[in-house]
Structure 1
Amino acid sequence: MRTLYVVTHPEATHHVEGVVGGWHDSQLTPAGVRAAASIAQALRAQVPDGAEVELFSSDLQRTRRTAEDVAELFGVKPILDRRLREKSYGEAGGRPQEWLDRRFVPPPAAGERLEHDEGIEGAETKAALAQRVYAAMDEILQRPCEHQIIVTHGGSLTFVVASWIKMPIGSVGYASFRAPSGSITRLCEDDFFHNRQVVSLGDTSHLSGLQAG
């Protein structure tokens, strides 16, 4: 049975500073660093001892730092892949969130949503984000390893899950799988029917004992 453990990075500086994330290369906060250690411990408890593990991560600092704790516990080296990055918000990246909110053009309720222009110079469309995440997932799933860990971002997680369940890209215009920061989503494919399950989505039970400070 193949199992994917999809991690959304924990609290980063753009969260507490109220600025737009995306490709803005923010770092984990002290709380985020503590959460990364808890994520690694939770994954170590879920993966059978002795199992081969592969680790993939977005190349941004906040995901790389999260992956480092996981890598240390499993004795593996993260494979960095820029295709697992969050959506690019173009010129809004690193600016105050309210700057983006004033200019953002939401997608229509019906009609073209994948190629919709949000009104921000340089921002990725949903189609571009979906295509690169799907491409990364295609390569990950071609590998025979039964236990794979993917460290990514909250926005990108939708497309990781959609790719896993083989949702056609043309149908993801309305898709949204929500998972909080620092969460673990578990995806499993059985060896008999080869059905692909979303076993858990956005689990944060491993963060319950953490205290701010």
Structure 2
Amino acid sequence: MRKIALVTHPEAQHHVEQKVGGWYDTGLTERGQQQATAIAAVLGAELPQSSPIYSSDLQRTSQTAALIARSLHSQVVLDQRLREMSYGAAEGRDQAWFDQQIVYPPQSAGRLDHRVYPSSENRREVATRIYAAMESIINSAAQQLVIVTHGFAASFVIAAWIGMPLEALGLVAFQVNSGSISWLTQSAPFHNRTLASLNDTHHLAKF
């Protein structure tokens, strides 16, 4: 059975500073490192040694991936295409300020190309790069692996896995919290792709 652990990075410095994230490149807090170690312990028990790890190249994800790699004795492939949505010039600014600047999308038409901030990416741009990254990952020989990404980006990883058309992604959103593990599977003989588990955070209970 093909089995993919989809991990969202845990607590990062911009979370506690209440800054806009996106491509704003902060590392994990001390608590976030502890959370990432707990994630690594779960994956070490669920996946075989040397399972490859694909990760966004930002600090908070690459640090998470490095701790998982230590548990699995495996290598990390950093891929910029797995980054979070870019919020452009708003990145690193106070979240409270940004909340007043957001231009919310329409309820139906035009959502895929809508920008929440003038210099931000839109959903189409995020989805296009994540779908390209997922095509490379899915076409790899690895049957069991890890993908480390971000909360919003994770929805597009899942959508790519289950084969949602890009044009349908204007409305897609899976509830995925920081430090979560979701499982994507595919089994014989029908080879259907499944979202077997979404947003598991039980390993964070003591933090």
**Counterpart Cα distance in 2 of 1:199 and 1:190:** 11
Quick one: which of 115, 120, 124 aligns to 1:123?
Answer: 120
Unaligned segments of structure 2, at least 5 residues:
none
**Counterpart Cα distance in 1 of 2:19 and 2:30:** 18
Question: Does 1:168 find its partner at 2:184?
Answer: no
- Give the aligned residue type for 1:103: Q
Q: 1:73 offset after TM fit, Å?
A: 1.4
Q: 1:200 offset after TM fit, Å?
A: 0.6
Residue equivalent to 1:3 = 3
Question: Does 1:106 find its partner at 2:109?
Answer: no
- Give the aligned residue type for 1:117: R
- Alpha-carbon RMSD across the aligned residues, in angstroms, is 1.0
Number of aligned residues: 207
TM-score, scaled relative to structure 1: 0.94
**Counterpart Cα distance in 1 of 2:40 and 2:102:** 36
Deviations 1:158-187 (A, max 9, x none): 000000000000001000011111010001
TM-score, scaled relative to structure 2: 0.97
Residue equivalent to 1:58 = 56
User: Relative to structure 2, which stretch is displaced further, 72-81 or 157-166?
Assistant: 72-81
Q: Do the aligned residues in 2 keep the contact of 1:88 with 1:123 (CA within 8 Å)?
A: yes
Residue equivalent to 2:141 = 144
Q: Secondary structure at the match of 1:174?
A: coil
- Give the aligned residue type for 1:97: Q
Question: Does 1:207 find its partner at 2:204?
Answer: yes
Q: Secondary structure at the match of 1:173?
A: coil
Residue equivalent to 1:27 = 27
Unaligned segments of structure 1, at least 5 residues:
none
Q: 1:139 offset after TM fit, Å?
A: 0.3
Aligned-pair identity (%): 45
